[in-house]
Amino acid sequence: MSDVGQPHDETSTSSFEEIVRKFEAPLLRYAAHFVSNSDVAQDIVQNAFIKLSFRWTPDAGRSQAELSAWLYRVTHNLAVDHIRREARRSIFLSRHAVEKECEIGENQEAGSISETAEKAAVLLKSLSLREQQVVTLKVYEERSYQEIARITGLSEGNVGYILHHAMQKLALAIGNTNAEEGSTDETET
């Protein structure tokens, strides 16, 4: 029995190196079209070859066309994963920037943001990360369901479902905090 991904002999190592030499440049060009950054494209292609090294055996009998299709598919998936990670990171950074702008605006113009909006921003953090992402894209970034689906990798129906339930949670939480404040005010008088 052989170890998957472990070179068996000198011949298998050299044939893996031949595959890298043959496909590296075309895969780099392909990945660079997605990420527009040569360093990131190199990382993506390197990870594709690492995945191949764990699954590749010289005697597997794969045709060049099958190998090529597999490498391009893996490179594509890794590039899309990178783009999604960056989109999520960008969303969180932009949300943080919006919150900082709100804090600066509050200091400059007292009362410019309604209490309900403030509560909603605070309560947004109580939602799951997925719900926060969808609500942020819809409310702060004003994205369509279709755009949110593309960014998150969810279906449009799933985006609508998550958004609907997240907004219900926020409305309920805002209502609860308003009710709690009302009862606190009444007991103080």
pLDDT in tens, the chain (189 residues): 334 444 444 445 568 899 999 999 999 988 888 787 899 999 999 999 999 988 877 666 677 878 888 898 899 889 888 888 887 777 776 666 666 666 555 555 544 456 767 777 777 778 887 888 788 778 877 778 987 888 778 899 999 999 999 888 888 887 777 667 665 555 554
C-alpha distances in angstroms, 173 versus 96, 127, 133? Answer: 22, 11, 18
- Nearest alpha carbon to residue 129 among 81, 88, 69, 179: 88
Which residues are CB-contacts of 115 (< 8 A; sequence separation ≥ 6)? none
Q: What is the pTM of this model?
A: 0.46
C-alpha angle 45/85/119, rounded to 5°? 175
